[in-house]
Amino acid sequence: MFSTSTHILKDNKQPSKEISFDALVPAEMAVKAAETGVKKTALDTLRMFMLAVLAGAFIAMGAIFATTVSAGGSVLPYGVSRLLAGVAFTLGLILVVVSGSELFTGNNLIVIAFANRRITLGALLRNWGVVYLGNFVGAVLTAYLMFLTRQYTFGGGSVGLAALNVGEAKTSLVFTQALVLGIFCNALVCMAVWMCFSARSTIDKILAIVPPIAAFVAAGFEHSIANMYFIPVAMFIKQMGTPAFFEAIKKTPADFPHLTWSNFFLVNLLPVTIGNIIGGVMMVGLMYWFIYLSKAKKATATTETAQRIAAATARPEVPAPVFFVSREPPVRPLEMPLQTINAKSEEANSTSRRL
């Protein structure tokens, strides 16, 4: 949770740890993002899918909160109503990030690990595919369960009317409009996730998430996983809503002609998903990889190449000759004891007398 640095105390030479509350700097965030990508792709398929189902349900919870807050909001200025819905929707990503779930749009940042050659393209696509499917299951299942609660009838039907209006608007987009709205959306979502890499605590993560997520909802950008709740729940209400509900809101199912399953997949989900990938990968993931990790990778590769060349061209070392020298100093004649000198003189004299 906190960074630590080791110091040596002057008195007893024992190491101590200093706790730092400082956030990680962007270069450290890039390294952490790459490591996180490696860990996410290392999950087995079942665990990955289950975490993705949870993330889809969590995003749906944020969508439920946003729909409820915006219900009957016609008395408020448009911007204020959108802001309230945006702040409410942040619940979804907060639950995803803090709980450690797998969200497709946030996982677009795994491209950092791929660009850094830490994972393969197959591992990247496997994660995206499994997580996307799990998010779909979690969001649509939550939408159906919420329909069964008849929460859409709350507030005199205003909650259901808000859901129908949102679904109708999302399935009325043209392809390029949905694509570009998806690009901007996931640029903000991935920026929220990116800033979470600098966080030291849960509060830090929440503060990093709220502004960009509230901004994309207030601006009307398109999030593919959120739309897996918004549009299906509107479809369920249109197709299976009670007559009393439609009477209360003074509408009929025919008043929402664009709410069809084909429009859900082809008009909204397809272009929005493509836009989300472009926004997350190109505008955030690869951008920060290029700034903070690409040169470091090249420097490491250059150093390794230089070391290999040096090892290949280096001359073999010839061991130097070894001389064994006695540790005892040589004995000089003048340094001999006097008794030894006298003994040698007497021996020489006796030899000469015999001769």
Domains of the chain in sequence order:
26-295 (1.20.1080.10)
Q: Does the reported pTM lie above 0.95? A: no
Judge whether 83 and 260 are in contact, CB under 8 Å.
no
**What burial class does residue 211 get, using C-beta atoms within 10 Å of its C-beta: 0-12 exposed, 13-18 middle, 19+ buried?**
middle
Task: Fill in the amino acid letter for 45.
Answer: T
Nearest-angstrom CA–CA distance, 307 and 314: 10
pLDDT 10s digits, 49-64: 999 999 999 999 999 9
User: Residue 92, Cα to own-chain centre: how many angstroms?
Assistant: 16
Find the range with the poorest average confidence among 73-77, 78-82, 180-184.
Answer: 73-77
pLDDT 10s digits, 210-269: 999 999 999 999 999 999 999 999 999 999 999 999 999 999 999 999 999 999 999 999
SS3 252: coil
Nearest-angstrom CA–CA distance, 277 and 68: 29
**What burial class does residue 38 get, using C-beta atoms within 10 Å of its C-beta: 0-12 exposed, 13-18 middle, 19+ buried?**
middle
Q: How confident is the model at residue 297 (pLDDT cuts 50, 70, 90)?
A: low
Q: Over range 31-44, report the average pLDDT.
A: 98
> Residues 101, 286, 122, 59: what is their CA dihedral angle, to the nearest 10 degrees?
20
Judge whether 230 and 62 are in contact, CB under 8 Å.
no
Judge whether 84 and 69 are in contact, CB under 8 Å.
yes
Helices of type H across the chain: 26-41, 45-70, 78-99, 111-115, 121-148, 158-170, 175-196, 202-219, 224-240, 243-249, 261-262, 270-280, 286-289, 295-313, 338-354
Nearest-angstrom CA–CA distance, 63 and 88: 8
